[in-house]
Amino acid sequence: MSSLRQTDVLVIGAGVLGASLAYWLSVTSGCKVTLVDQEDGVARHASSRNTGIVHRPFYLDPDTKRVFAASARLSYPLWRGLAERHGLPWSQNGTVEVALRDSGVGTLEKYVAWAARNGVDESELELLDGREVRSLEPEVECRSGLHVRTDASVDFGAFTACIGSLAFRNGVSFLGRCKVASVRQKAGSTEVLFSRGSAAEGARCSLLVNAAGGGALDIAHALGLARKYSMLNFRGDYWAVSEAFGPRIRRNVYSLPRHPRFPFLDPHFVVRPDGRRQIGPTAVMVAGPYAYAGLGLLSAPSFLSAPLGPKLGLLSDPEFASMVLDEWRSALSKRAMCARVRRFIPGLGASLLVSRGISGVRSSLVGPGGLVPEALVFHGESSIHVLNYNSPGATGAPSYAARLVADLRDSGMLKGLEGAPGARQGSVWGDLDAAAAA
């Protein structure tokens, strides 16, 4: 097929992960890199539709979330450095994680131990009783709280745009409005065809890097990978808090998750970097990765895509089914949503939630063991696929992407594609190996 563009590395997905991968590839190798997205710009989906917190990894189990925890720790100074250098918002307002009952106090103590194992300095944290939390945040009621001073509020959409533009300056090409519709492996290369209506017809690459978020599993399946996994999509809705009440709370306030078996946080109170206050997100099960309103039944068929077994297994779990119902209730009723946050901010009446905010969708991988806790990487003959790259994925992207690029280099997958010695100099994120040290 003559109209296929030739490129060394094709990165699918211009979210925070794909843009970070393209950036690291551009500073560590001289190969020709093309970043492709179905949208006409970067960060149009999860990467700009999120809570916007650069998380310290105090709440991540160092055994089951080891990679996310290490990526979050290593990425924190990289994001802060990028914000300083490029004048992007970085609001280090901190977070208070609250326990509402005595039973939660042990969980906060466990978080302190996890924080130490995940490399969070003890000066960043403070365990408080309910009275001490109240003197910090007079509107918050709880039994106990963990004050994390260093969590920062940012705009990950702006961060992604910044790192993407640095990659483009380094020679990465961007193909927008190109939805990857089919992929096939040829001897030593991969051919990708875009859906009709795309600006270009397709591309042939020596290495395919699939960072397509909610679209990543379909692409992996097309190459015969990750066949035992399917995807469920959960929408996070937010509500804007009235300016008359919001500024009375200065920090992000999270409550301990009520369903720690599942990788969702309960709705929290969020301080955005521009000072707006919001509550959210929910985790409403929807039919597709771009179902930002309603059920999304018309927007995508992924709800019914194979394999169905893992999804049915999960839906027959009574705790999961009850959580799904609760979340739908919160999506349909402002009062129900508000009630969840009033448990720890009693003064927040439903009338103070003045408008709906953005919504974002988390695409979660479901396997034979249920919801998968961390990102998974699958290797094809000349392709790699990142699946389930969920929260705190935006926080960890610089380091996580560096690790992937270092692995590609070390495993020889970039061999023969590298040129331009000395291209490493001048990286805004410093040295690849230091960023990848997870």
Q: Token pair of 321, please?
A: 């089914």
Tell me how far, at minimum, the Cβ of 368 lies from ligand FAD, in Å: 23
CB of 122 to ligand FAD, least distance (A): 23
Q: How near is the Cβ of 172 to ligand FAD at its closest, in Å?
A: 15
Which structure tokens are listed for 357?
A: 């905010």
| H helix runs in 48-176, sequence order | 66-86, 102-117, 130-136, 156-169
**β-pairing verdict for 4-12 and 33-36:** parallel
Q: In angstroms, rounded to a whole number, what is the distance separating the alpha carbons of residues 265 and 408? A: 33
Q: What's the min distance (Å) between Cβ of 393 and ligand FAD? A: 2
Give me 342's structure tokens. Answer: 């009033």
Sequence-ordered list of residues with C-beta below 8 angstroms from that of 54, at least 6 positions apart, any chain: 75, 76, 79, 80, 151, 152, 153, 154, 394, 395
Cis peptide before 89 (omega within 30 of 0): no
Closer residue to ligand FAD (CB): 29 or 47: 47
**Residue number, 374 or 418, with CB nearest to ligand FAD:** 374
Shortest distance in whole angstroms from residue 20 CB to ligand FAD: 8
Nearer to ligand FAD (CB atom), residue 281 or residue 288? 281
Q: Which of 261, 295, 264 is nearest to 280 (CA)?
A: 264
In this complex, which beta carbon is closest to ligand FAD, that of residue 145 or of residue 288? 288
| Binding stretches for ligand FAD (CB under 6 A) | 12-18, 36-39, 44-47, 50-53, 55, 179-180, 211-215, 236, 281, 360-362, 389-395
Specify the residue, 14 or 249, whose C-beta has the smaller distance to ligand FAD: 14
Beta carbons within 10 angstroms of residue 389's beta carbon:
28
Report the alpha-carbon distance of residue 171 to residue 208 in Å, rounded: 18
Closest to ligand FAD by CB, 336 or 423: 336
In whole angstroms, the minimum distance from the beta carbon of 50 to ligand FAD comes to 3
Helix (H, G, I), strand (E, B) or coil at 420: coil
CA-atom Rg of the chain in angstroms: 22
